[in-house]
Structure 1
Amino acid sequence: MSASTFVPRLGDVTPGDDATDRKNMALLIQLRWTAVIGQIVTIGAVHLWLGAPLPLVPMGAVVLGLIALNIASLAWMRYRVAISNRDLLVALILDVVALTALLYLSGGITNPFTSLYLLQVTLGAVLLDSRSSWSLVAVVFTAFIWLTEASRPLVLPPAAGDPVNLAVAGMLIGFALNAVLLVVFVTRIHRNLRERDAHLAALRQHAAEQDHIVRMGLLASGAAHELGTPLASVSVILSDWRRMPQIMANREIAEDLAEMETALKRCQSIVTGILVSAGEARGEGSSPTTVSAFLSALAEEWQNARCKTTLHVVNVFGEDVPIVSDVTLKQAIFNVLDNAFEVSRYWIELVAERDGDNLVLSISDRGPGFPKDMLTQIGKPYQSSKGRAGGGLGLFLVMNVVRKLGGSITAENLRTRGAKVKLVLPLSTLAIGNPFD
């Protein structure tokens, strides 16, 4: 009278499946303890209350065997890496064997608790694959047929009452026990399965997001290659113009030329970042530095390209440590800063802190904040509060860059006004010589 774990097909085990298996194994152990208690109560009632002579020693040995099986299951579950369909089938067969032994010692086929075989078959249909379910049915059918030929008769004394009424009462108790155990177990197993399905849905969503990344990466990489040639041509032309005295003699034209060169360098930096993010030109633009130097250079570059007075940097990281200046990470931080700049033109704060072995970057603004429904969707593609078609990819790309580095990203609205985006980055992945370089 027990249940067991739900097991995925061999070769198709996921972390979510393993968690479901262990939850269902816990249900198996709970239900087996319930069965042991029920069997002790039933044996005591029949022997003491009805006065029927039962073979207490053999029946007690069966009950002790179930207790030992439960204790062994606890130890087995602790050290078992994965639970297979075969393990589940063996567990249910052992329960059938224990039930058959108790029925054999207490009347065989005439025992009204033979209906508990249906509990084993139902659990097998819920938890096993098709082939194993039919194997369990064959075992139960064989045990049932064997009981019709071999069993120890259950002799009730005349004082126990009408045998027909006792049989009806026994069938009623057996039916009620079957119904209660099935409802309790199937309800819990379905809850576990829903949790597993939710986990698998999250994995599918993650796979879809990764597919978006691949397709956008290919598109961005192709566009970056195409832009490389015209940008190089413009750079050559601007260099030629700068060497022309008649152009440099005009102050306004010279200033415009300087702004154009700054903008061109920014475009070339963006193209380089795209190629690095796509896995090309690996190592270009990456160089040894420290946390403080990386933040200072990042802030200066962003201020030169956007606004010199908007960004306020607060570095409370503490003792400086060497890291690699990663172009992809810099582009990701620029993306967050650019998003904040769109809604907060006059004030943005970048705070750098250390939390154990992590670099924590908090970017705050004084904009309208994130809509409440977006806070739970941060990092998913096409989740944007700006109302632009195809928008919402910025934080999605940032999320995946940070995830690749082993970090995490969170967002929250501030109490008064504005929002804060926090990037948590392990220093080990930013250190010189780490495998992500």
Structure 2
Amino acid sequence: MAEPSATTLLAGTAETTNRKNLLLLIQLRALAVLGQVVTILYAAFVLGITLPLVQLFVVLGALAGLNLLALLRYRITTGITSAELMMQLLLDVAALTMQLYLTGGATNPFISLYLLQVILAAVLLDRLAVWIVVAVATGCFILLSDTYRELVVPGGHGSAEGHGDRIFALHIQGMLISFVLAAILVVVFVGRIQRNLRARDAYVAELRQRFAEEDHVVRMGLLASGAAHELGTPLATLSVIMGDWQQMPAIASDPALSGELAEMQAELDRCKAIVSGILLSSGDMRGEGTVRTTLGRFLDETVAEWRLSRPVGRLDYQAKIEPDIPIVSDAAMKQVLANVLDNAREASPDFVGVTARRIGGDVVIGIRDAGPGFPEERLKSFGKPYNSSKNRPGSGLGLFLVVNVVRKLGGTVVAVNNPEGGATVRLTLPLRALALKDEDGSGA
């Protein structure tokens, strides 16, 4: 199955963040409906202001119904677009406009709540969508300046001046309530929206770093494949020449020369095997050259092959794969384990420990050594290219390749320093990525 592209993943991340923000808008709208119900009842029955209660509650009912539809949309979909968020805000602007029309228009102190919709748009939407919301809110404000239903405010006893003071006092109280309400909602909800956006930005940065590292791996793979092709011919020529030398009487009659030549031939065969492995794994990780086996047998054979070619004082190997499962093994996975084992052997030539066990749906492989452990700065940047304490060209790429191959399979690689000394590199691989597939694509 093809892996998703960077553009697809980034788009999916934006839609996931929009989904979280839609839930915040739903919660905000629910609070707004509740607050408006309380405000309308207080104004009508405590302050004695004559209000068109039926029409106002019809608008509130429509707003509550819209919220239920938005909640249903939130639950049945995994991705919400920016256009949908803009429509939600525009519907809120429309509902606020209808309520203000019925309650004094631009003279209503709660008209400043338009600013809350603009603030939410500025945080949630792109530039064009923000200006659309600003234009619609401004147009509604202008419309309400001339077209609205006047409020009938009690307190008309006494002089006209006293009546005006009463209206002005109510207007100031309304402005205060509107300000406090908007300030609280901005602090609470915009803060939560900002946290969602920061989490999205952090994830996007991680994705970009991952794609850059994988591109680095691809380039190195192409270089390695090209080098392997170039090395194939001279290695084959050397093999033929050494075979001819072994038949020469002067060499065949000299046990010392024959022994050295046999050792050279073995090392040459090993070089040819390494080149063949590079060519085998230079294509898809699950491509040609894969072998059907079981997980336990694959680990046993890989560790045994590594032990034969690398001198180490003591190898402590324990595998508990119960129940064992059929898998597809390939050169890439063998190279991953060999790289980690080689690093452990370099740090601790006298001891390397390997444990493998099945935990739920994962196989956890721990490779430990008795060396000095990882420096703190290397642990912080573990798996980054050229992150090595070895002062030689190209060092630090082995673990970088290990981390990327394991991550391609959906697993993780963690390095820790052991309390008793030495270090452990722990590979966690999901069994579904290794399990042998039937012809219909299902697991065996």
Q: Identity across aligned pairs (percent)?
A: 51
Equivalence for 1:380: 384
Give the secondary structure class of the aligned counterpart of 1:422: strand
Equivalence for 2:61: 64
Equivalence for 2:77: 80
For residue 357 of structure 1, report the CA deviation from its aligned partner. Answer: 4.5
CA, structure 1 residues 297+235, in 2 after alignment: closer, same or farther (shift >3 Å)? farther
**Post-superposition CA distance 1:200-241 (Å, at most 9, x none):** 111110111011112111211121122112211221122222
Amino acid at match of 1:151: Y
| 1:94 aligned to which of 86, 91, 95 | 91
Pairing 1:243–2:247 present: yes
Equivalence for 2:305: 301
CA, structure 1 residues 165+281, in 2 after alignment: closer, same or farther (shift >3 Å)? closer
> What is the alpha-carbon distance in structure 2 between the residues aligned to residue 220 and residue 373 of structure 1?
29
CA, structure 1 residues 398+181, in 2 after alignment: closer, same or farther (shift >3 Å)? same
Equivalence for 1:409: 413
Give the secondary structure class of the aligned counterpart of 2:395: coil
For residue 429 of structure 1, report the CA deviation from its aligned partner. Answer: 4.1
Q: Tell me if the contact between 2:18 and 2:81 (Cα under 8 Å) persists in the aligned partners.
A: no
| 1:183 aligned to which of 187, 208, 213 | 187
For residue 106 of structure 1, report the CA deviation from its aligned partner. Answer: 1.5
> What is the alpha-carbon distance in structure 1 between the residues aligned to residue 78 and residue 322 of structure 2?
42
**Post-superposition CA distance 1:107-126 (Å, at most 9, x none):** 12211111111222232233
> What is the alpha-carbon distance in structure 2 between the residues aligned to residue 367 and residue 11 of structure 1?
43
Q: Tell me if the contact between 1:51 and 1:157 (Cα under 8 Å) persists in the aligned partners.
A: yes
Pairing 1:371–2:375 present: yes
Pairing 1:147–2:144 present: yes
CA, structure 1 residues 182+289, in 2 after alignment: closer, same or farther (shift >3 Å)? closer
CA, structure 1 residues 256+177, in 2 after alignment: closer, same or farther (shift >3 Å)? same
User: Normalising to structure 1: TM-score of the pair?
Assistant: 0.88
Equivalence for 1:21: 18
Give the secondary structure class of the aligned counterpart of 2:428: strand
Greater Cα shift, 184-193 or 26-35: 184-193
> What is the alpha-carbon distance in structure 1 between the residues aligned to residue 323 and residue 99 of structure 2?
71
Q: Tell me if the contact between 1:348 and 1:365 (Cα under 8 Å) persists in the aligned partners.
A: yes
Q: Tell me if the contact between 1:370 and 1:385 (Cα under 8 Å) persists in the aligned partners.
A: no
Q: Tell me if the contact between 2:371 and 2:422 (Cα under 8 Å) persists in the aligned partners.
A: yes
Aligned length: 426
Pairing 1:123–2:120 present: yes
Give the secondary structure class of the aligned counterpart of 1:410: strand
> What is the alpha-carbon distance in structure 2 between the residues aligned to residue 107 and residue 285 of structure 1?
78
Spell out the pairing of 1:151-170 with structure 2 (5 A cutoff). 151-158=148-155, 162-170=166-174
Equivalence for 2:314: 310
CA, structure 1 residues 304+64, in 2 after alignment: closer, same or farther (shift >3 Å)? same
Amino acid at match of 2:24: L
Spell out the pairing of 1:273-352 with structure 2 (5 A cutoff). 273-279=277-283, 286-307=290-311, 309-352=313-356
For residue 192 of structure 1, report the CA deviation from its aligned partner. Answer: 1.6
Give the secondary structure class of the aligned counterpart of 1:378: coil
Amino acid at match of 2:139: T
Pairing 1:42–2:57 present: no
Greater Cα shift, 105-114 or 310-319: 310-319
Amino acid at match of 2:194: H
CA, structure 1 residues 324+235, in 2 after alignment: closer, same or farther (shift >3 Å)? farther
Give the secondary structure class of the aligned counterpart of 1:70: helix
> What is the alpha-carbon distance in structure 1 between the residues aligned to residue 74 and residue 330 of structure 2?
44
CA, structure 1 residues 86+11, in 2 after alignment: closer, same or farther (shift >3 Å)? farther
Q: Tell me if the contact between 1:303 and 1:309 (Cα under 8 Å) persists in the aligned partners.
A: no
**Post-superposition CA distance 1:298-336 (Å, at most 9, x none):** 233222221154323223224554444411211111111
Give the secondary structure class of the aligned counterpart of 1:14: helix
> What is the alpha-carbon distance in structure 1 between the residues aligned to residue 145 and residue 285 of structure 2?
78
Give the secondary structure class of the aligned counterpart of 2:311: coil
Give the secondary structure class of the aligned counterpart of 1:134: helix
User: Normalising to structure 2: TM-score of the pair?
Assistant: 0.87
CA, structure 1 residues 321+196, in 2 after alignment: closer, same or farther (shift >3 Å)? closer
Equivalence for 1:202: 206
- Return 5+ residue gaps in structure 2 as ranges: 1-6, 158-162
Q: Tell me if the contact between 2:63 and 2:95 (Cα under 8 Å) persists in the aligned partners.
A: yes
> What is the alpha-carbon distance in structure 1 between the residues aligned to residue 98 and residue 116 of structure 2?
16
Pairing 1:230–2:234 present: yes
For residue 400 of structure 1, report the CA deviation from its aligned partner. Answer: 2.1
Greater Cα shift, 101-110 or 353-362: 353-362
**Post-superposition CA distance 1:186-209 (Å, at most 9, x none):** 322222211111111111101110
CA, structure 1 residues 39+216, in 2 after alignment: closer, same or farther (shift >3 Å)? same
CA, structure 1 residues 260+353, in 2 after alignment: closer, same or farther (shift >3 Å)? same
Give the secondary structure class of the aligned counterpart of 1:417: coil
> What is the alpha-carbon distance in structure 2 between the residues aligned to residue 258 and residue 292 of structure 1?
34
Greater Cα shift, 156-165 or 328-337: 156-165
For residue 76 of structure 1, report the CA deviation from its aligned partner. Answer: 1.0
> What is the alpha-carbon distance in structure 1 between the residues aligned to residue 255 and residue 284 of structure 2?
40
Greater Cα shift, 105-114 or 184-193: 184-193
Query: How large is the Cα RMSD of the aligned pairs?
Result: 2.7
Equivalence for 2:268: 264
> What is the alpha-carbon distance in structure 2 between the residues aligned to residue 132 and residue 150 of structure 1?
27
> What is the alpha-carbon distance in structure 1 between the residues aligned to residue 432 and residue 92 of structure 2?
51
Amino acid at match of 1:170: G
**Post-superposition CA distance 1:329-359 (Å, at most 9, x none):** 1111111110001101011012232234544
For residue 165 of structure 1, report the CA deviation from its aligned partner. Answer: 2.2
CA, structure 1 residues 382+150, in 2 after alignment: closer, same or farther (shift >3 Å)? same
Give the secondary structure class of the aligned counterpart of 2:413: strand
| 1:212 aligned to which of 211, 216, 227 | 216
For residue 286 of structure 1, report the CA deviation from its aligned partner. Answer: 4.2
Give the secondary structure class of the aligned counterpart of 2:318: strand
